[in-house]
Every structure is written in C-alpha cells, then in structure tokens.
Amino acid sequence: MKSENRTSIQVFYLLGFHESQNLQLFFFFIFFMMYMSTIIGNVIIILAIWQSSKLHRPMYLFLGNFAFMEICYSSVTVPKMLMDLVSGNKQISVLGCITQLYFFFVLGAIENYFLAVMAYDRYLAICNPLRYMTIMSNRLCKQLALTTWVVSFIGSLVPIYLLRKLSFCGRNVIHNFFCDASPIFNLSCSDTSVLKSYFFSLVRIIVFSCLFFITLSYIQIILVILKIPSNSGRRKVFSTCGSHFTVVILYYGSVISMYVRPNHEYNVVFDKCLSVFYAIATPFLNPLIYSLRNEKIREAIKSYKWRYSICHSA
C-alpha cells in the first residue's frame, strides 16, 4: 500500500446515535443500565467461582475467564459511547480508533476460542466422563486458557499493524458508536482491497473453525444424550451444556450476520442495530444465562460466603 500525498485527517467522528437530545438521554440510560448489569453480573460470577471450592473445576475456570473477557469486551466500546451520548463530543483520534478496533478484534477472537474450548470441555465431561479428570487436568485447563489469551493478542498484531499504515483523508464520519473494521476500510484513501480481503478472511477462519469445532462437539454430545433411556436423564445431561449452547446461538447468529456475508454492501441502520446486539446486549445477557441456567452457579451466588468476602475486601 503506497502512501499518498494528501492532507491526512487526525480524527474520526463516531456518529452513533445522533437523534434528538431526549432520545440520546434515553439511550444513555438504557445502555448505562445494561453496561452496569454486565459488569456486576460477570464480577459476581467470577467471585462465586473464586470463593466456592465446588466450582474449582475446568468448566468453571473457563467460565471465569469468559466472564472476565466479557467485562473487557464491553468496556472497549460502551464507556466511550456513553460519554459521547452525554457530552455530544463524538470525536476519536485515528490512533484511538484503531486501538479500539484492535482490542475489540482481540476480545472477539478470545470469545470464539473460549466458546470452542468450553464445548470441548463439555464433550469430554459427557462423552468421556471416566477419563475427564485425566484428560482435562488443571494444568491443561490453565494452559488452554493462557494460550487463548496470548495467541489472540499476538495474532491480532499483524492486521492491526497493516491497518495502522493506511492513509485517511476526506471523509471522517463513522456511522456507528465504535470503530469497526468496515467503516475504517471505507474511509481510507489507500488501496484496501488486499488488506480487506486478508482481514475478513482471518475473521472467517476464526469464526468458522471455532464454530465447526463446537458443532462437532455438540453432535457427539447429542448422540450420547439420545442413547440415554430416561427423559430425566437426558434433561440432566443437557443441562450441563444448555447455558453454553444458548450463548453460542446468540453470539454466532449476530457475528455471522455482521462479518460473514457474501459481499460488503452494508446497511447503516441494520448494522448499527446488529452492533448493539453483539457488543452490548449479548454481554448483558450472558451472565443472566449462566446464572439462571446453571444450578451450581446459582447456589454459589446465593451463598453468604461470597457476600462476606466482598464486605471484608472493601
């Protein structure tokens, strides 16, 4: 990508929700409540797992990492959006925009990997229960979690570095509330065809490889469940992976709709609504799904011990 001798722009404008002031205040209230619920819900899950010895198992270690990831994922975009709704200052520097995209992309990759790892964990627990603790040892569990974080952060450096080399001039308005890849490509005055193809190919590889692995795990799980003679036994086994399965449906439904399309002719209103769903609504729903559908998480949350820990750590 050769540099071009044009006047470069230094800031983007995140148009986001540019309706009337009353509507912006309404959006601020709704999204603020959802963001705070996301943070509090995931912190409670982390604390419940940390304080309960019954939850010191691979499944819940992965869930704790997933909850921490969700806190980071929401915090990359929502605070800036809330500040824009209140202040009306929708500016973000080009470097700040690309930095936001980097962390959004990294955490999105981590979410894919953790959903795949958690599916593998459920596959082992249901299809190979006698060998589960031997295969999914605490050491392997920690290695998988650490590898997921490290690979995502390092692997995302190349596309973001190439994105940083783009030139921006002329238009500088992004019709969304955060910096996503497609608007940045569209605003660049450099040739982005190769980088765009590389970026979206990488997204597709991550999404579909993880989804394939998850699907394969659930096919094996379903085959085992169908062999269980009693309905109560089937329900009990499926309840161990019901929360994860629900999160998978919500996440991949929105991500595939957003990033894996036959072409990149985007509809501004549709994409903005879809962005709200996977960047704000899904992280908000996930703690509710895990806490409401998982009996052991509910028991840990109801216990007095974790509240006692909070009081004494304050």
pLDDT in tens, 248-269: 988 888 888 776 665 555 566 7
Distance, CA of 297 to CA of 48 (rounded, Å): 7
Q: CB of 247 within 8 A of CB of 255? A: no
- Compute the residue count for the chain: 314
- The pLDDT mean for the chain works out to 84
Query: Which tokens belong to 188?
Result: 């660049």
* Range with top average pLDDT, 124-138, 142-156, 231-245, 254-268: 142-156
- Residue 168: per-residue pLDDT: 87
- Residue 200: per-residue pLDDT: 87
| DSSP-based three-state secondary structure for 227 | coil
**More confident position, 33 or 299:** 33
The residue whose two tokens read 């991550």 is: 206
pLDDT in tens, 203-261: 889 999 999 999 999 999 888 888 878 777 777 777 778 788 888 988 888 888 776 66
- Residue 80: per-residue pLDDT: 93
pTM over 0.85: yes
- Residue 186: per-residue pLDDT: 86
Asked if the model's pLDDT at residue 33 lies above 90, the reply is yes
| DSSP-based three-state secondary structure for 12 | strand
Asked if the model's pLDDT at residue 1 lies above 50, the reply is no
- Residue 266: per-residue pLDDT: 58
Asked if the model's pLDDT at residue 308 lies above 70, the reply is no
What are the beta bridge partners of residue 13? 91, 173
Flag the least confident range among 10-14, 41-45, 88-92, 207-211.
88-92
Please state the domain extents for the chain. 11-313
By the 10 Å C-beta count (0-12 exposed, 13-18 middle, 19+ buried), 157 is classed as: exposed
Distance, CA of 210 to CA of 112 (rounded, Å): 6
Asked if the model's pLDDT at residue 21 lies above 50, the reply is yes
Average pLDDT over residues 160-174: 86
Asked if the model's pLDDT at residue 306 lies above 80, the reply is no
- Residue 143: per-residue pLDDT: 92
Average pLDDT over residues 165-181: 86
| One CATH from 3.10.180.10, 3.40.50.300, 1.20.1070.10, 1.10.3470.10 for 11-313 | 1.20.1070.10
Average pLDDT over residues 77-81: 93
Element holding 91 (H helix, E strand)? strand 91-93
Flag the least confident range among 59-63, 139-143, 302-306.
302-306
| DSSP-based three-state secondary structure for 216 | helix
